[in-house]
Amino acid sequence: MPVNETLSQYSDWSYTTSVVIYILAMVFFLVEQSFGRRGRQAAERTRNRELVGAASGTRTTASGIDNTGPGTRNTGTENGDTGGAPTRAERFGRMGIALTLLGLLLHASALVLRGLATSRVPWGNMYEYVMITCFVAVTAWLVLLRKHPVRHLSMFVLLPNVILMFIGGTWLYAVAAPLQPALQSYWLIIHVAAAAASSGVFLVPGVASIFYLIKARNESHPEKFAKFAAKLPAKDVLDRVAYRTTVFAFPVFTFGVLCGAVWAEAAWGRFWGWDPKETVAFIAWIVYAAYLHSRATAGWRGNRAAVINVIGFAVTVFNLFFVNLVTTGLHSYAGVG
Reported as a single tens digit per residue, the pLDDT across 179-210 is: 776 667 787 788 889 999 999 999 999 999 99
Could you tell me the pLDDT band of residue 135, with boundaries at 50, 70 and 90? very high
Q: Is residue 317 a contact partner of residue 280, using CB atoms and an 8 Å limit?
A: no
Closest CA to 19 of 93, 98, 99, 136: 99
Query: Is 125 a domain residue?
Result: no
Region label for 83, one of left (φ > 0), alpha (ψ between -120 and 50) or beta (otherwise): left
Q: Is residue 138 a contact partner of residue 103, using CB atoms and an 8 Å limit?
A: yes
Query: Could you tell me which residues are beta bridge partners of residue 60?
Result: 66
Query: Is 86 a domain residue?
Result: no
Query: Is 314 a domain residue?
Result: yes
Query: Is 115 a domain residue?
Result: no
Query: Is 186 a domain residue?
Result: yes
Query: Is 147 a domain residue?
Result: no
Query: Is 133 a domain residue?
Result: no
Mapping DSSP to helix (H, G, I), strand (E, B) and coil, where does residue 18 land? helix
- Between 1-5, 236-240, 277-281, the lowest mean confidence (pLDDT) is in 1-5
What whole-number distance in Å separates Cα of residue 118 and Cα of residue 84? Answer: 50
Reported as a single tens digit per residue, the pLDDT across 101-117 is: 999 999 999 999 999 99
Quote the domain boundaries for residue 302.
Answer: 180-331
Mean pLDDT of the chain: 82
Q: How many domains does the chain fold into?
A: 1
Q: What is the pTM of this model?
A: 0.81
Query: Could you tell me which residues are beta bridge partners of residue 71?
Result: none
Closest CA to 324 of 271, 278, 259: 278
Query: Is 58 a domain residue?
Result: no
